[in-house]
Structure 1
Amino acid sequence: MHGEFKVPGGKLVVVDLSVTDGKLADVRVSGDFFLEPDEALAAIDRALTGMPEDSDAKALAASVTAALPEGAVLLGFTAESVATAVRRALRKATTWRDYEWQLVHPGPLDPLTHLALDEVLATEVGEGRRKPTLRIWEWDQPAVVIGSFQSVKNEVDPENAAKYGFRVVRRISGGGAMFMDAGAIITYSIYAPADLVTGMSFADSYAFFDEWTVVALKSLGVDASYQPLNDIASPAGKIGGAAQKRLGNGGVLHHVTMAYDMDGDRMAEVLRIGREKLSDKGTKSANKRVDPLRSQTGKSRDEIIERMISTFRDAHGLTDGVITDAEYARAAELVTEKFGTDEWLYRVP
C-alpha cells in the first residue's frame, strides 16, 4: 500500500506499507523532508510497524512522536503529516481528487443569508446530501462580520458603523472581525467532509485548504504566501484571513476573505483595532497592515475571481452547481431563528 501527503508550504511525505493480521507491517517512510539525526527515520518506521490498521491519526502521530530520539528535528513535515500519509495508504484518509467538487456562485445576497448558508451547506455536506462545494460570495451592502467568540463592543465602534451603513453580524467560526465593504472584498467558502483533513492539525488544515489560493495569486504576479495561523499575505502586507468550523456531523466549513480594495481610514474608524492586536504585526497602523489585491494586480475583481476558479478547477476538478430552494429556505429560517437575533449577535456583548 502506498500513500502520499504534501505538507502545505512544506515537503512531501511518502509511506509504503503492508498489513498482516490487522497490523501495519514493512512500514517505510520517505520523502524530500529534512530530518536529524539520520537514525530518527528508522525509529519512525519501527514506531509505526505493528500498529493496528484501524489506529486513528492521533494515535499514529503520538507513536511517531514518542519514538523520536531526544533533540530530533523535523523540517518540512510533522508527525501528523506522517499519520495522514499512513491513513492515505490504508485508504482511510482522502485527497481533493477523491471528490466531485461543485461550484456555486449566485448573485448578491445579504450578509445574514451568507452566514446562514455557511451553516446550511456545511451541514448538508456533512450529512452526505450535498457534494463538497466551493462557494463564491457576492454582496452589494457593507457589513462587519465578527468572529464567533468576539465581543461586539470591543471590536466595533457602533456610531461609526451606523454612520457609514455597516451592519454588524456574527458568524459561526472563530477568528477576527472582517471589514466587508460592498464590492471591495473577495470571499469564498469551502464545504468539505472531515475525511479530507483527517490526521491534520488545525494549523496544517488551514494551509491545506488555502494552498490553491496562494497558487492562484502567484499566477497573477502576487508574491503570496500562507502565514500561520490563518493569514494569506505578501511582503507588502496582509491580503486576507481564514476561519474554520468543524461540525459534529463530519462537515467542515473553511472560509476566507481577501481585500480587493479598501478604505483603510474608514476601516480604522469602524473597527476598534488596538495596539495589542498589532503588537506582533510589525506595524503601527491598521490601515497600513493590509495591501489589497487591486493595487497588487491591477486587475478587476471579476478577473481575479475567474483566475481563482480556474486554478481550483485545474487542481481539484470543479463542476457548476446550484444552491437548492430547500437550502435557501433553511437559510432563511436560520436568519430568523439565529443569525438575525440580538441573542446571537450579543452572545458575547
Structure 2
Amino acid sequence: MWRVVFTGERPHYENVALDRIMLDLRGEGKIPNTIRFLKFKPECVLIGFHQAVEQEVRLEYVEREGIQVGRRITGGGAIYFDETQIGWEIIADRESVGGGNFEEITAKICRGIARGLRKLGIPAQFRPRNDIEVDGRKISGTGGVFEGNAFLYQGTLLMDFNVERMLKSLQIPVEKLTSKGIKAAEDRVEWVKRYLGYLPSDEKIFSALLEGLKEELGIEYNWGHLTPEEESLLEKNKEYYRSEDWVFHIRRAPHQMQSLYGIYRCPGGTFRVSVRVDLERNILQQVNINGDFFVNPRRLVYDLEAYLKHTPLQDVKTKVEEFFSQRQWEGLNLTVNDFVEAILFPIRKAEGLQLGIDKKKLNNIIASIGDGLIENLRKAKVMLLPYCAKPRWCDYRHLDDCGECGGCTVGDAYRLAYQKGMIPITITSFELLRDTLLWCARNGYTYIGHCCYEFFEKRYEIFQRAAQEGAKGVLLDIVGTTCYSLGVEEEEKAYHGEFTVELDLLKEELYKTLKVKEDVWEKPKRQSRTFDFSPYFRDFVPTYYKKPKAVPSPEEDRTRTAVQEEVFLGEATIEDRIVSSSEALATLADWIKRAERPTLVVGPLLVWDWGEEELRQKAEALRTLIEKIPHLKVKVLPDYRPKLGKYDPSVEMDPPNPHQCVLHDRNDLTLLVGVHCYRTDFVIRLLRKHTPTRVVTLCGLYGHPTAHLSVSFTDAEKLYYLSRLL
C-alpha cells in the first residue's frame, strides 16, 4: 500500500530538504513508497543539481522582486515556481513501478500523470525526453534522481502561470518566433486555468493524478502524514538547503588564463564545460561540468571530473570512454560520446595558440564546429557578419552588403574577406542565417561567423544541422552589450531588426585566425547598379520616404536556392495542398473578388527599377493587375530598415512589424509581391500569428508553403493571367 501526503505550502528549502530526507529514508526502508504533493510559498526559482545559479538566474531581477533562489537534488533545468503551481513527487523503489532503467521509469510515471490530466478534460500526452504536453504545449516538466534501488521522481503542474515573470527570472533567451517574446513563450506552454477556463480545487487535481498513477502503475494508496522521523530530520536539516554552501555550491567558471569554456547540446540536454589546461605541456589540469541533464548516480559527474585530472590532452577521449566502461550508470537520452564531445569542445580552442592568439583570449573563440579549428579556418570560404555590428546611421545596416567606408569593424572584415578570397555576407535576420548555413552546406563551404555565446547556445540546433549536412565552421565572440544581456524586450527587438545598440567584431582575433589563409584578393566585380523608383510604383511611395544609399537588390535572394529542396513543393500550394498554378490563380481571383479590404504589398524587387527586363515586365504586369481591382489597397515595402514608429501604416509596411499595417486597415487579404524570400518567410509568420488576414505570396522563386496560398516562379505571364481572371 502506497502512502499519499500533501505537505502544504512551504519555502523552497523545506521542500528540497524533504526531498533529500524522504529519498534517504525510502532507501533505508524506513518509509513506504510515497506520492507527495507540495506547493511553494514564497515564489522561487529552483535550479537543477548540476547547474550554476549565475548562469541560470537573473539575480538582479529576482533580488529586486523578492523571488527566492534554491537548488534541487534532481538534475535538469531551472524552474520558476509561483504560489499556484502544484508539485508532485514519487519516492519509491524500482520494483514497485515494474523495474526498468531511468528512461523506462520516466515514461511510466509521465504516462500516469498524463492519464490523470485527461480525467480532468485536459488531453495530455508524454513527450520524451521528460515533458508532459497538451497539443504540443508543455504543461508539466519532470525529472528525477536514482540512488541504488530507490528513486525520487518529481514534476510540476502549471496551474495559472505568469510567463512574463518566469522569463524575467531565468537566464533563458526568448524564442523569437512572433512579434512579442512573451507571447511566443506563452505559445509553448499550457496551464490548467487557461485550458479549462477555470481553476479546479487542489483536491480535484490530487484525485485525478492519483487515479492516473494508480491505473498506469497498478498501485493502491491511502492518504497519510509525515512520520515523526521525517518531521525531526526536516527541522534539523532545512537551514542547510537555504545556505550558500548548498545553493551556490556550483559556480560559474571564471574566464581566466588557461581556463577554456564551451557549450555543447545534445538530445539529453545542455552541457556547460570549463577546463583548465596547462597549455605548455598539453595537460588537462581540471574540468568542471554543469548543465541541464539527468544522470544516475548523481555523483557520476564529480567522479568523472576527478578521474580526468592531469590527463594529457591527446588521451582525454580514451580516458572518458575508459571511465564509463568501468561503471554502472544511467543517463536520460545521454551517451558516452556526448560526454566526450562536451569535454573536447572547449579543449579544441587551444589550437588558437598556434595562430598567435593570446591564451587569455582563447575564449573569444566560441566554437569550432565539425572539425578542428585550424582545419576549418584553412577551408573557410564564407564570412558571416551580424547586422548589429554596423552603425545605426549606416544605410547598409539592414542589407547584405557593405559600403566599406571605414566607419566600423564590419568594413574591415569585408576587406579582409576579399583579401582571403572569401564571400562576406551580412546576416540581417534569423531566416537569412538559416538559409545561408544551408547554402554553405549545399556548396560544401566552411564559414567563419560572429555572434555572442547566448545566441550560439539558443540557436545551437541550426549550426549542428548545417554541420550534419556539410557546413563546418568557426564562431567568434563579439564585443559590447548584447540584446540578451539587456533583457527580453531588447532581445525581441534584435529579432525584428530594431536593436539599436552597436556591437564590434573582435578584429585582432579575426586577423590572427585568418593568417592560415593565403592572400588572393578576390574581390568580386559587382555590377554597378544605379537605382531609382520604378515608374510603375513611384506614385505609391510616400512623400516622406528618403531614398537610402543602398537597398536590397535581387542578388540578396541567392541563398534561397539552399533550401529549395525543402520548401519547393510544386507550381503552387493552397494551405497544405499542392496544386497547379492555374488552379491557385483561379482561387486567388475568387478570394480577391470576395475580399472586403484586400491589400497588395510591393517589395524592393519591384518598387525599384533594377534595369532588368524581366523585372520591368513583371512590374508592368503587376500595375495592370492593380488597375483591374478598384478596391485593392497598395502599400510599399521599399527596404527593410525599421521605421521605429515613424511611418504611415496606411501606405507603407514596417519590416519588423508587418502586422501593424494590416491591422491598421483591417485587411482581410494580403498579397506579397517583390519581397525577398527570407523576409517573406518572416512576414508570413507574423501575419498568420497576429492577424486574421489571408496571406498570399506571388513568389519569383520557389514559393512559400507556409502562406495560405503561394505561387512559385511568378512572372509577368502569370500576373496577366490573374488579371484576365478578374
TM-score interval for Structure 1 and Structure 2 normalised by the shorter chain = 0.5 to 0.7
Answering whether residue 6 of structure 2 is matched by residue 105 of structure 1, we say yes
Q: Within 5 Å, give how 1:138-149 maps onto structure 2.
A: 138-149=39-50
Deviations 1:29-74 (A, max 9, x none): xxxxxxxxxxxxxxxxxxxxxxxxxxxxxxxxxxxxxxxxxxxxxx
User: Aligned equivalents of 2:212 and 2:133: distance in 1?
Assistant: 18
What amino acid is the match of 2:237?
L
User: Aligned equivalents of 1:131 and 1:293: distance in 2?
Assistant: 30
1:317 positional shift: 1.1
User: Aligned equivalents of 2:175 and 2:160: distance in 1?
Assistant: 25
**Alignment equivalent of 2:152, drawn from 253, 259, 266:** 253
User: Aligned equivalents of 1:335 and 1:107: distance in 2?
Assistant: 16
Q: Within 5 Å, give how 1:120-131 maps onto structure 2.
A: 120-131=21-32
Q: 1:201 to 1:329 in 2, by over 3 A?
A: same
Specify the alignment match of 1:321 in structure 2: 224
Specify the alignment match of 1:154 in structure 2: 55
* 3-state SS, counterpart of residue 10 of structure 2: coil
What amino acid is the match of 2:192?
L
* 3-state SS, counterpart of residue 150 of structure 1: coil
Answering whether residue 193 of structure 2 is matched by residue 294 of structure 1, we say yes
**Alignment equivalent of 2:69, drawn from 168, 175, 182:** 168
**Alignment equivalent of 2:170, drawn from 271, 281, 300:** 271
User: Aligned equivalents of 1:265 and 1:192: distance in 2?
Assistant: 36
Answering whether residue 38 of structure 2 is matched by residue 137 of structure 1, we say yes
Q: 1:317 to 1:331 in 2, by over 3 A?
A: same
Asked if 2 retains the 8 angstrom alpha-carbon contact of 1:294 and 1:301, the reply is no
Q: Within 5 Å, give how 1:145-294 maps onto structure 2.
A: 145-183=46-84, 185-196=85-96, 200-235=100-135, 237-248=137-148, 250-274=149-173, 285-294=184-193
Asked if 1 retains the 8 angstrom alpha-carbon contact of 2:110 and 2:131, the reply is no
What amino acid is the match of 1:130?
I
1:164 positional shift: 2.2
User: Aligned equivalents of 2:129 and 2:214: distance in 1?
Assistant: 26
1:128 positional shift: 0.9
User: Aligned equivalents of 1:305 and 1:236: distance in 2?
Assistant: 24
Specify the alignment match of 1:340 in structure 2: 242
Q: 1:208 to 1:306 in 2, by over 3 A?
A: same
Asked if 2 retains the 8 angstrom alpha-carbon contact of 1:267 and 1:287, the reply is no
Unaligned runs of 5+ in 2: 252-726
Asked if 1 retains the 8 angstrom alpha-carbon contact of 2:87 and 2:154, the reply is yes
TM-score normalised by L of structure 2: 0.32
Asked if 2 retains the 8 angstrom alpha-carbon contact of 1:178 and 1:257, the reply is no
Paired residues, number = 243
1:284 positional shift: 8.9
Deviations 1:128-147 (A, max 9, x none): 11110001003331011110
TM-score normalised by L of structure 1: 0.65
1:220 positional shift: 1.6
User: Aligned equivalents of 1:119 and 1:198: distance in 2?
Assistant: 23
1:199 positional shift: 5.4
1:149 positional shift: 0.7
Unaligned runs of 5+ in 1: 1-99
What amino acid is the match of 2:89?
S
1:244 positional shift: 0.5
Q: 1:323 to 1:288 in 2, by over 3 A?
A: same
User: Aligned equivalents of 2:20 and 2:224: distance in 1?
Assistant: 18
Answering whether residue 234 of structure 2 is matched by residue 331 of structure 1, we say yes
What amino acid is the match of 1:193?
D
Deviations 1:260-301 (A, max 9, x none): 1111111111111126899xxxx9943432111111123424
Instruction: State percent identity of aligned pairs.
Output: 28
What amino acid is the match of 2:24?
T
What amino acid is the match of 1:251?
A
Q: 1:253 to 1:319 in 2, by over 3 A?
A: same
Q: Within 5 Å, give how 1:18-37 maps onto structure 2.
A: none
* 3-state SS, counterpart of residue 107 of structure 1: strand
Q: Which moved more, 1:324-333 or 1:140-149?
A: 324-333
Q: Within 5 Å, give how 1:41-60 maps onto structure 2.
A: none
User: Aligned equivalents of 1:305 and 1:165: distance in 2?
Assistant: 29
* 3-state SS, counterpart of residue 133 of structure 2: strand
Q: 1:102 to 1:344 in 2, by over 3 A?
A: same
Q: 1:277 to 1:118 in 2, by over 3 A?
A: farther
Asked if 1 retains the 8 angstrom alpha-carbon contact of 2:159 and 2:199, the reply is no
Specify the alignment match of 1:19 in structure 2: none
